[in-house]
Every structure is written in C-alpha cells, then in structure tokens.
C-alpha cells in the first residue's frame, strides 16, 4: 500500500462506505473518482450493494452469487441502500437489495450468501496462455471516463478501440487488472472488477457506441481465504459477447487469480444503440 | 398438437397457470407432472414467475433478462406469486417477484422487460455441428424424475450417466429438446427449457450426486416474433460447467432454434454435496 500516504482511505473504500441506520438500511454517497459518463461505474454500484450485506450483522458466510439490475440512473449525491434478509437456511442466505435516491429505486439486486465446505473440486475453464502481468504495458483508459483511472489495466488483447480503429469480428478482451492505487482483494473489490470490461459492442464496431449494463450477475468461485490470498496482485480478466441484436447484447467474463485459480465468472446484459 | 386430445390444456400451461388477485398478486398450484425429486422442476418455477409478468396488465414489451433465486423448497400445493413493478422507463421495465407459501418466501426473482428495436446484429457464439433432431434417438429421463417426461430429449452427447458409468473430464451436454407433448414455444416455455440440463456434477462424476440450483439467470436474445416462429420444433441446448468446488458449481447454457438462431443464453449456480 506504498502508494497510499499514511492512513488515507483508499478511494474504493471511500466509494463503497455505508453508514448503517439499522434494520438493514444504510446511507452512502457517490464518489467522483468512480464516475462514469452517466452516473457511477456499474461495478462500484455492485460493490456498494454487496458491501451492505458484508457489514450486515446477520450475514451468513460469504457471497456465492450477486445479480444487480440497473433500473435507472444514479445521480451524483447521497443514496440509501436497503438490504432485506429474505430467507436464511442452514447454510445459505438470500438477500434482496435496492439502492434509492429521494425514494425512487435506481438499482435492485439479489445476493445469495452461504457457508462453503470442502468438496470435490475441478476447474474446466482453462487459464489463457498470456504473458505475466509485468510483461504487459499499462494502458490508460480514455481520460473522460473517471473510474478507469482507479484501475491499472494491462491489455493482452482487445484494448478499447482508438480513433480510426476498424471493426473486429471477435469481441474478446484479455486484461491484467488491479485497483490503482493497489488494494488487497476482497469480495466488493472482486464484484467491481467483474464489470471493468468496456461494452463489447465498442470492440466489434471499432468506435464508440452508446451502451450501458442492464443486468449483471456474478458467481463467486473463490472463498474468503482464496480472495484474501490474492492480496493486491493483478487478476486476469477475459470477456466476450455471444450475441448482439435488437438493442441488447450479452457479455460473459472470467476472472482469474495471478496463480491461475478461477475467482469468479460474471455475465451481463447490455443495452446499446447502433 | 395432434398429441393433445381435443381442447385439453397442455400440462405446461396448467402448471404455470396463475389466477390474478389484482395489484400484482396471483395464486397458482404446483403440478404433479413437473415434480422434481424435491419440490417442482426449477424451470417450471422460473416459467411461472415469468408468467406473472407476461399476464400483468402493465407489462412493457418482452423479457430481456430473468434471474430466479431458489431460496427454499416449494411444497406440493398452492402458492402465491407477487410481481412488483419497480421502475418503468421509456423502453425498459424492472420487476421484482417472489413466490411464497403460507407467507414464507420460497423463491425470489427479478426480471427486466423492454421494447426491442432493429439494430446492428451479430452472433459470435457458433451453432454446434450436430445431426438434425430427427436423426438423434429420443432418450427417456430416469423414471423417478417426473418432469423429465414432459420433455422429448435427444442427446447428441452428455446424456445422464447410467449406473456403472465412469467419470468424465468434460461436463458438456448437447441435446435437442422440446416439450412433450409438443407445444409452440413462448417465453415461459423458453425460460423452462433453459433449466432442462441435469446438474453437470452428475456427468463429471458418472453417478448421482445431490445437487440443486441456487440461482438461475437467463438472457433472452430472441424477440417475440422469433420465439413464435420456432413453433413446436425442437431447440438445441448445450450446457457446460466452468468450476466445481467448496459445495457449488456454475453451468452455462446456450439455446438455439432449429434454424440456428441463438434464442437464449442462461447461467446458473448449483449447490452440490460430494
């Protein structure tokens, strides 16, 4: 954490900070460092909703899945998060969440938490053949996207198209990424990292296209020990789309630890206008 | 529809039938034809929740995404579905849903609906090289799984392991499937089809393993015209897992029309004990 002066709070932690009002209600505030072109970066909103469960006194275990629905724009300013415990079983717990401003819901979410136990295990997804993170140059995000400055991105392939780029027939991006300044990985941090892939339509079309996530689902494969073992090393993300048409496309991502373990798989449906 | 005598209601339609109580509340009843080993087939529960929006007077457009969280068992008998319209924008609409019995929530869901307009389109996912449906033998599901009898399944590969089967290092199943008796495709029907893949852990281990879906997310790529154009032809489904470990695994599926168009992509997190 040498980049952080003394006891300064990391901007990520400032952005997801919630003040508990009791009964599953919290207040928070958008953070300018995580602004997107309209409203905040979707990943920071996902992280903030997860954070509400993380600090809830009745939380059982760790996150297994998280679905976030971006129902309307979040304006710069304060917001309220509500976390409702829908059902708690012996080893799983279901949450229903929303983020509202002035009484209007901007974002809804559901999360499944649970206790994880040792079982048979196997990873079928294959860690891609890529150079190590420190062998790939850091490439800054376009300057007008504030949140991109909070991530150190090293594109192995599929960087955001530059002006004059041509179309591509493959929407795949492979990128080493970590928070900037570096920050030890935790579940909210991982939830946000699952959304750092710019909309795949830009890569296919080779230019800017208005687009925004409608719904995002993340499955956490890493347990708490594996997440904290990542420390502040870069994780490898790879994302691609399956289908674009009639105003929407999907994209799926895999997030791998530097040691080649699969940390999360994540899927989203994205609106576009083209 | 020659298999259906006269004006008989198809068992699928009987299973997802809801009586509107007004204000987004409905009553329904589990159907013995769609029973699973414990409670109903997850796909029929997903279809029932979608049906609540389909028949809601304020519905805008068609389904874009659906997430269903299986929070607790659904007992044989009546249930109540509540569909809350969270937010309606110009072209999208966000729903929050649950299914409850005796006041206890068994299932939660969120759905995004919207109006679809012509845009640039492209399918990156590749339709698999498979024989036509009528060249593949129908293979019955194990007899103790009632819901399996409502689907005509023609496994191209990855059929459910028979007694004495060995382990597999690949969790892929490819199957031509349609309702039995045949039934014209609609959105609830497609939502259910996304869940007809038995748990991938059974294929990997070559034997029965206790397992159950925790959370299911489906992205609908087909619009209403494309869905109805499928009529009652088989659709091709392919599913596989990415990671198994510490009690959970994910599986992802693609559903293709007989004409090779991608109808839906679907993802789920599954509990297992092994």
What is the tens place of the pLDDT at every residue in B172-208?
Answer: 999 999 999 999 999 999 999 999 999 999 999 999 9
User: How confident is the prediction along chain A (274 residues), in pLDDT tens digits per residue?
Assistant: 444 555 689 999 999 999 999 999 999 999 999 999 889 999 999 999 999 999 999 999 999 999 999 999 999 999 999 999 999 999 999 999 999 999 999 999 999 999 999 999 999 999 999 999 999 999 988 888 899 999 999 999 999 999 999 999 999 999 999 999 999 999 999 999 999 999 999 999 999 999 999 999 999 999 999 999 999 999 999 999 999 999 999 999 999 999 999 999 999 999 999 9
Percent of chain B with pLDDT over 90: 93
Measure CB to CB from residue A64 to each of B96, B219, B269 and give the nearest one.
B269
CB spacing of B92 vs A214 below 8 angstroms: yes
The residue of B99, B221, B225 whose CB has the most chain A CBs within 10 angstroms, and thus the best one to mutate to test that interface, is B221
CB spacing of A271 vs B92 below 8 angstroms: yes
CB spacing of B217 vs A221 below 8 angstroms: no
> Residues with Cβ < 8 Å from B6, sequence gap 6 or more?
none
How high is the pLDDT of residue B143? 80
Distance, in Å, from the CA atom of A206 to the CA atom of A228, rounded to the nearest integer, reads: 37
How high is the pLDDT of residue B5? 52
What is the tens place of the pLDDT at every residue in B34-56?
Answer: 999 889 999 999 999 999 999 99
CB spacing of B245 vs A121 below 8 angstroms: yes
How high is the pLDDT of residue B7? 66
Residue of chain A whose Cα is closest to the Cα of B126? A242
What is the tens place of the pLDDT at every residue in B52-83?
Answer: 999 999 999 999 999 999 999 999 999 999 99
CB spacing of A171 vs B104 below 8 angstroms: no
How high is the pLDDT of residue A140? 84
User: How many helical (H) and strand (E) elements, i.e. helices and strands, does chain B have?
Assistant: 5, 13
CB spacing of A92 vs B214 below 8 angstroms: yes
Which chain A residues touch B240 with a CB distance below 8 Å?
Answer: 124
How high is the pLDDT of residue B2? 44
How high is the pLDDT of residue B1? 41
SS (H, E, C) chain A: CCCCCCCCCCHHHHHHCCEEEECCEEEEECCHHHECCCCECHHHHHHHHHHHHHCCCCCCCEEEEEEEEECCCCCCCEEEEEEEEEEECCCEEEEEEEEEECCEEEEEEEEEEECCCCCCCEECCCCCCCCCHHHCCCCCCCCCCHHHHHEEEEEEECCCCCCCCCCCCCCCEEEEEEECCCCCCCHHHHHHHCCCCCCHHHHHHCCCCCEEEEEEEEEECCCHHHHHHCCCCCEEEEEEEEEEECCEEEEEEEEECCCCCEEEEEEEEEEECC
- Identify whether the C-beta of residue A15 lies closer than 8 Å to the C-beta of residue A48: yes
The full set of domains in chain B, from first to last, is 11-117+125-272 (2.40.160.210)
Which chain A residues touch B122 with a CB distance below 8 Å?
Answer: 204, 243-245
How high is the pLDDT of residue B166? 96
Residue B274 CB neighbours (<10 A): 16
- For residues B129-152, give the mean pLDDT: 92
Distance, in Å, from the CA atom of B83 to the CA atom of B96, rounded to the nearest integer, reads: 6
A203: closest CA of chain B, how far (Å)? 13
- Identify whether the C-beta of residue A24 lies closer than 8 Å to the C-beta of residue A82: yes
Give me the interface pTM, i.e. the ipTM. 0.96
CB spacing of B215 vs A110 below 8 angstroms: yes
CB spacing of A265 vs B273 below 8 angstroms: no
The residue of B61, B67, B205 whose CB has the most chain A CBs within 10 angstroms, and thus the best one to mutate to test that interface, is B67
Binned at pLDDT 50, 70 and 90, residue B10 comes out as: very high
- Identify whether the C-beta of residue A46 lies closer than 8 Å to the C-beta of residue A68: yes
Measure CB to CB from residue A240 to each of B86, B123, B124 and give the nearest one.
B124
């Amino acid at each position: 954490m040498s980049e952080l002066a003394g006891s300064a709070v990391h901007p990520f932690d400032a952005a997801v900070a919630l003040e508990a009002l009791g009964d599953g209600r919290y207040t928070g505030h958008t953070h300018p460092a995580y602004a997107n072109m309209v409203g905040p970066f979707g990943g920071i909103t996902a992280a903030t909703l997860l954070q509400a469960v993380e600090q809830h006194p009745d939380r059982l275990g760790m996150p297994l899945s998280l679905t976030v629905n971006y129902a309307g724009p979040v304006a710069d300013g304060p917001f309220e998060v509500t976390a409702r415990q829908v059902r708690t079983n012996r080893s799983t717990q279901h949450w229903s969440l929303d983020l509202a401003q002035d009484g209007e819901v901007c974002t809804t979410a559901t999360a499944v938490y649970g206790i994880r136990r040792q079982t048979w295990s196997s990873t079928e997804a294959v860690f891609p053949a890529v150079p190590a993170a420190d062998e790939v140059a850091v490439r800054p995000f376009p300057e007008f996207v504030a949140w991109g400055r909070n991530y150190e991105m090293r594109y192995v392939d599929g960087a955001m198209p530059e002006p004059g780029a041509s179309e591509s027939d493959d929407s795949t991006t492979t990128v080493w990424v970590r928070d900037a300044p570096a920050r030890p990985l935790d579940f909210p941090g991982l939830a946000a990292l699952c959304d750092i892939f710019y909309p795949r339509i830009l890569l296919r079309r080779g230019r800017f296209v208005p687009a925004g996530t409608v719904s995002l689902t993340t499955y956490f494969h890493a347990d708490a020990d594996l997440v904290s073992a990542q420390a502040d090393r870069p994780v490898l993300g790879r994302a691609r789309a399956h289908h674009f048409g009639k105003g929407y496309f999907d994209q799926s991502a895999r997030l791998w630890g530097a040691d080649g373990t699969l940390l999360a798989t994540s899927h989203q449906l994205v609106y576009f206008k083209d």
